[in-house]
Amino acid sequence: MENLEKILNKEQCEAVRCTEGPLLVLAGAGSGKTRVLTHRVAYLIENCGVAPWNILAITFTNKAAGEMRERVDRLVGMHAHEVWVSTFHSMCVRILRRYIDRLGYPSDFSIYDTDDQKTLMRQIFKELNVDTHMLKERAVLSVISGAKNRGLTPLEFRKEEASSGDPRMRKMADCYELYEKKLHQNGALDFDDLLLKAVELFDTEPEVLAYYQERFRYIMVDEYQDTNDIQFRLVDALAKKYRNLCVVGDDDQSIYAFRGANLE
């Protein structure tokens, strides 16, 4: 690999060369955080002898993943395609397509978009005789999404909201329970389920988790400030064996706060 000092500054070079154990890199927007990650991938392969398929690089948007993929391809060349560069959701889709039958879902499960979710919730409102003056479909779906981003099942959500004494929350718990039941019956997941079911798979199928822990010995996460509880659980589970986890973020910037990102 060409001389890092010609490309990166001192702090960036240190981050690239710190390959073993956990590493947190905090830097502002436009400071070259993603460049550090991509050079770190190349350094692991070319200088440390790490197999490309043992590296996982995660980011948040398809656009960012595409840009990272291009950079890795340019830096690494041959075998660059064996590095997993992915968003959280696309990573989970790949894992679930292979193993979700163990959770009672078909491997060709559907992924519901916003319109599919609204249609399903409309059916649920009719079945449960929900007063649409009291609750709106969009609001219920938003609450369900928030619960899933915190890793709450319908039962856990019901227990958490039982103390509120708010009849609307009880009705939302009913909607969440029936929503999940119907998704399962339809062989479908929503966008948030992709993460939740991957965590459930790792929690209930230790040999599946062990396979991916062995596969992903080096894990890097870009824009870490945008991670929510369920994404943290995913990364924590995958990195638990080798602990070679590098996260890069900006603690002054969290554009995904509306999806439950947690900086603590």
**What residues contact residue 219 under an 8 Å CB cut-off, 6+ apart?**
55, 56, 57, 58, 235, 238, 239, 244, 245, 246
Q: Distance between CA atoms of 261 and 229, rounded to whole angstroms?
A: 7
Q: Distance between CA atoms of 114 and 35, rounded to whole angstroms?
A: 34
pLDDT of residue 82: 95
Q: Which domains occur in the chain, in start order?
A: 4-98+204-259 (3.40.50.300), 110-186 (1.10.10.160)
Q: What is the pLDDT of residues 209-259, one digit of tens each?
A: 999 999 999 999 998 888 889 999 999 999 999 999 999 988 665 443 334
Residues in the chain: 264
Give which of 158, 122, 126 is closest to 141, Cα–Cα.
122
Q: Distance between CA atoms of 147 and 246, rounded to whole angstroms?
A: 27
This prediction has a pTM of: 0.89
Give the model's confidence band at 85: pLDDT under 50 very low, under 70 low, under 90 confident, else very high: very high
pLDDT of residue 256: 39
Whole-number average pLDDT of the chain:
91
CA dihedral 91, 93, 97, 103 (to 10 degrees): 110
Yes or no: say if 261 and 227 are a contact pair by the CB < 8 Å rule. yes
Query: How much of the chain is helix, strand and coil, in % rounded to 5?
Result: 60, 10, 30
